[in-house]
Each structure stands twice: as structure tokens, then as C-alpha cells.
Amino acid sequence: MSIFIDKETRLLIQGITGRDGSFHAKQMMEYGTKVVGGVTPGKGGLKFETTVPIFNTVAQAVKETGANATVIYVPPPFAADAMMEAADAGIPFIVCITEGVPVLDMTRVYPFVKEKGARLLGPNCPGLISPGQSKVGIIPGSICASGPYGLVSRSGTLTYEVVYQMTRAGMGQTTCVGIGGDPINGTNFIDCLAAFEADNETKAVVMIGEIGGTDEQEAAKFVKEKMSKPVVGFIAGQTAPPGRRMGHAGAIISGSAGTAAEKMQAFEENGIGVAKRPIDVVSLLKKSIKS
């Protein structure tokens, strides 16, 4: 099993003819993802890689292909419209890779997508992968392996590092999800944890957080109150000074609530094993399964 995507995912790619969209479209197709169409206004009727039809609008693409998911690779000024167009077309799962989407834009997008009953992952995220089934986004398929462990992360690069270490240790994954580090995103830790808890094949979960905000603390309480499966974690930015922005727009410490120390304490108080280094996640995960 997996969460959010599987072998039946029929993927649309918005911005398929752009630099990033075309590169990652090929990667996803090579991995085995069912890419059923692309959207680039003004290029409808053409084909990508001779097999994937391109449409002018998402609504037309959905009607012709039966797409049930989309991934967005469009520049920041147009990303909000792309997300809302996808939701308006009835696509139930929307992944936005684009970074630099204005927060003000997301204050319009978030309620609109919710109202349409769609799930948004991102923006500013690496997407997700269910090893051996489907890959939507930019997570390298070569570092993943199928197995019984779920992973959810705010950090893209740390996702890759921890997944690589898990795969090296023979600890394959059901699904790896990068939720993104922007202040407003469509899917949070709790959404993913709940999905992993409901997935019969996920035995344990890795949660990778970072400084800034209180999402990790809220997720830790959810783990203690609602989850029967073991969860281990890592917090990035343990050496970051207060007030310093560390890559993600959401990774800004204000007061004590967003510090790594506060988040790590919240993890420990709620039964989540905390790794000091990314490589230590593997040993923690093994220990959590045995106990």
C-alpha cells in the first residue's frame, strides 16, 4: 500500500514544456508513473516525447485523459492560478513544486482548494514517491526502495539524505512525502501521519521537521493521542541562531516556540525518538520496531 499516490495514479503535468517540467516529466515517465497528459497554454494539440498529449487547459486535459492528479512546474507568478485551475477542473490531488509563491497568493489558493474538495501538496516541495508504484515530483527514484516505512518531511534535501540511509540499511518505504517549508502549505504533518496510520502496510514513520513555527509540536501531540505506530524524528536547524532565516520561508525562529530545542523536547515528551544526526534515524527506527 501507499498514501496519496499508487499504480492507479493518472498524472497531468502543468508546465510540461518548460525547462523543469520537461526534465522531470521524463524522469517520472522513466520511473513508471502514468503520465497521461500535459498542460501548456498555446501548445494544445502537440505531443511531449511523441506520446503524451498536451492541452491548453486543465479542464480539457481532465476530460480527455481522466487524470486524477497533477504536478505543477510553472513560474511563481502563475503558480496560484495553476493550482486553482487544477482544483476547479476537479483534480483531487494537486502537487505544486514551484518555490517562491507569494504568501498572499496562498491565502487565496488554500481556501479555494479546500472548498473544491482537493488535496494540495506544497508549494515549494519535492513532491512524493511510492517506491515501485508512482513518483510525482523531484525525489530521485534511485535512492528509494519499496518497504514498510513511511516518511514525511519539511526539508527536501534531508528527505533525500534520510531516505538514502534507510534504503542502504534495507529499510524500504511505503511513501516518502515532502510537504514543503512555506508558511502556508496544503498538506501538513498531521495529514500525512493520519494517512500513514490508516495504511495497513506502513509499520513505522519517520518525521523530519525544522526550526520555525509550531507544526512539529502539534504533530507530536497527534502522535501521542492518535497513533498506534512508532514514530521517530529529526529536527533540522539545531545550530541556527534566533531570527536567522534558514532556507525555507517558514523556518524562522520567533521567541522560543520555533527553536530546535523546543521541538525536540516536544518529540521526546510525546514518545517520539529524536535523532541527533540524520544518519541516526536508521538506528532509532530499528529500535522503535523492536520495542
Q: Distance from first CA to last CA of the chain, Å, rounded? A: 24
- Closest to 52 measured CA to CA, from 65, 71, 66, 70: 65
Handedness of CA 16, 180, 134, 131 (dihedral sign): positive
The strand pairing partners of 275, in sequence order, are 234
Q: DSSP string covering 154-190, please?
A: S-HHHHHHHHHHHHHTT--EEEEEE---SSS-SS-HH
248 is catalytic: yes
Reported as type and span, the H/E element at residue 178 is strand 173-178
For cell 519539511, name the residue.
154
Pick the catalytic residue: 248, 264, 266, 274? 248
Q: Which residues are catalytic?
A: 248
